[in-house]
Amino acid sequence: MRRHRLRPAALAVGLLLAVLGLAPAHAAPLYPTPDPDPFYLAPEDLATRQPGDVVRIRPIDTWMYPNTDGRQVAFRSTNSAGTPILGMTTVLLPRGVANPPLVSYQAIVNSLGTKCNPSRSLFNGELQDAPGMNLAVARGWAVSVPDHLGPTGAYGAARLGGMITLDSIRAVQRAAELGLAHSPVALAGYSGGGMASAWAAALAPTYAPELTLAGVAAGGIPADLEQMAQALGSNPHPGFGLAFAAAMGLEREYPDRLPVSDQLNATGRWLRDWMHDECRRFLLFHGVNRSADQVATSTSLLTSPEARAVLRENSLRYDSGVPTAPIYIWHGVYDGLTPFDAVDDVARRYCAAGAAVTFVPYDIAEHMTTAVAGFGDAWNYIEARFRGEPAPTRC
């Protein structure tokens, strides 16, 4: 049996179960401070609109991304409880290219604050995969980067990310100012962005059946959150800050089912208050070598059936959906951050269902090294789909 060395994202889901007990919730989740820009304010009539309807659009300065024009689009989406929410995406348009193909790029967003969402972090230096936008634009593609954690910073809520991604594509196509209504569309992302992309692909046939996706490229996918949680203990860990953030993010999306705040001790409540508006680097620095024992009144793993059910609901391994779009999946065989066997199971299930899958394993252990190794071929795969070439199958 292959043994996986656990890292921050694994801790992220494990901590959730470590801090949950069976007591009823009394403390409400702590949500991020709303963005003060009124562009992010949901209108009172949001519920009367359909998923993907454009609420408002504005031009933006894309100085960091040469030879582009930018727009931000606010649109109607839906959260995991079926409640209307305001979604946001940032679109980079290559200058001088008529009718460019569109890539919806789901970024790595390991954060809790509204300032950490791509609509902000694309321009403030926080987004670690921001340079990748230039690679896509250089190919003559338009790039849409949605805030796939939603307005409450629901870090860890994978199904939500898939729905927001699909609604962002609907909105971009419906925004006449962008001229992308008839552009071929592809999805791409790695790690948390790969998770959102893969979920969007799996949900598309039922959630957005009218959308035609030319292809999907998703790497480093956290495909089984329950498996990752079961392998964890509550010892101090250098990535504890991201673990704690994921517990908070999932509580924000499932406040009635995951009463994380109710299980925090005084130290945990202080840490929650200190981190609730912050981004990846802050979370890592202030959480280093802390543990669940230090922040929770209960540290029994897997004591809550409800918590385990929510983790399964956000794990592709247990979802019955199968993409109808061609999909390219790459993953490190020895990746200690996102276990390989879960992704392998997902790819095999898709293949058995007749999906056009290209599954590429890399004999690499380090998570982000696999991203660098695989993204070149992933972009080439997308480009071939844009050219209309038949999708290969490599299961």
- Mind giving me the DSSP string for 6-47? --HHHHHHHHHHHH--SSPP-SPP-PPPPPSSGGGPPPTTGG
Report CA dihedral (177, 127, 153, 189) to the nearest 10 degrees: 70
Distance (Å, rounded) from C-alpha 223 to C-alpha 84?
A: 26
Read off the pLDDT of residues 205-235 as tens digits, 9 standing for 90 and up. 999 999 999 999 999 999 998 887 665 556 7
- In CATH terms, the fold of domain 1-395 is Rossmann fold (3.40.50)
- In this prediction, residue 18 carries a pLDDT of 47
Question: Cβ distance 162 to 200 under 8 Å?
Answer: yes
- Here the tokens at position 159 are 């199904």
Half-sphere exposure of 279 (CA within 13 A, CB side): 16
Distance (Å, rounded) from C-alpha 259 to C-alpha 251?
A: 6
**Helices and strands in the chain: count of H runs, count of E runs:** 13, 9
Q: What angle do CA 7, 8, 11 make, to 5 degrees?
A: 90
- In this prediction, residue 260 carries a pLDDT of 87
Entry pTM: 0.92
- Here the tokens at position 361 are 């394993």
Read off the pLDDT of residues 93-121 as tens digits, 9 standing for 90 and up. 999 999 999 999 999 999 999 999 999 99
Query: What does the mean pLDDT of the chain come to?
Result: 90
Q: Where are the domains of the chain?
A: 1-395
Residue 6's CB is within 10 A of a number of other CB atoms, namely 19
Q: What is the largest CA-CA distance in the chain?
A: 60
Q: Any bridge partners for residue 306, and if so which?
A: none
Read off the pLDDT of residues 312-339 as tens digits, 9 standing for 90 and up. 999 999 999 999 999 999 999 999 878 9
Pairing state between β 102-106 and 185-190: parallel
Distance (Å, rounded) from C-alpha 287 to C-alpha 182?
A: 46
- 246 SS3 class: helix
**Would you say residue 142 has pLDDT above 90?**
yes
Which positions ≥6 away from 128 have C-beta within 8 Å?
108, 280
Distance (Å, rounded) from C-alpha 394 to C-alpha 228?
A: 26
Pairing state between β 357-362 and 102-106: unpaired
Residues 162, 253, 275, 287, CA torsion sign: negative
Tell me what the mean pLDDT of segment 179-197 comes to. 97
Residue 69's CB is within 10 A of a number of other CB atoms, namely 16
- In this prediction, residue 54 carries a pLDDT of 98
- In this prediction, residue 361 carries a pLDDT of 97
Distance (Å, rounded) from C-alpha 192 to C-alpha 367?
A: 12
In DSSP notation, 313-329 reads HT-GGG-----SS-EEE
Question: Cβ distance 365 to 337 under 8 Å?
Answer: no
Q: Any bridge partners for residue 218, and if so which?
A: 189, 329
- 237 SS3 class: strand
Residue 341's CB is within 10 A of a number of other CB atoms, namely 15
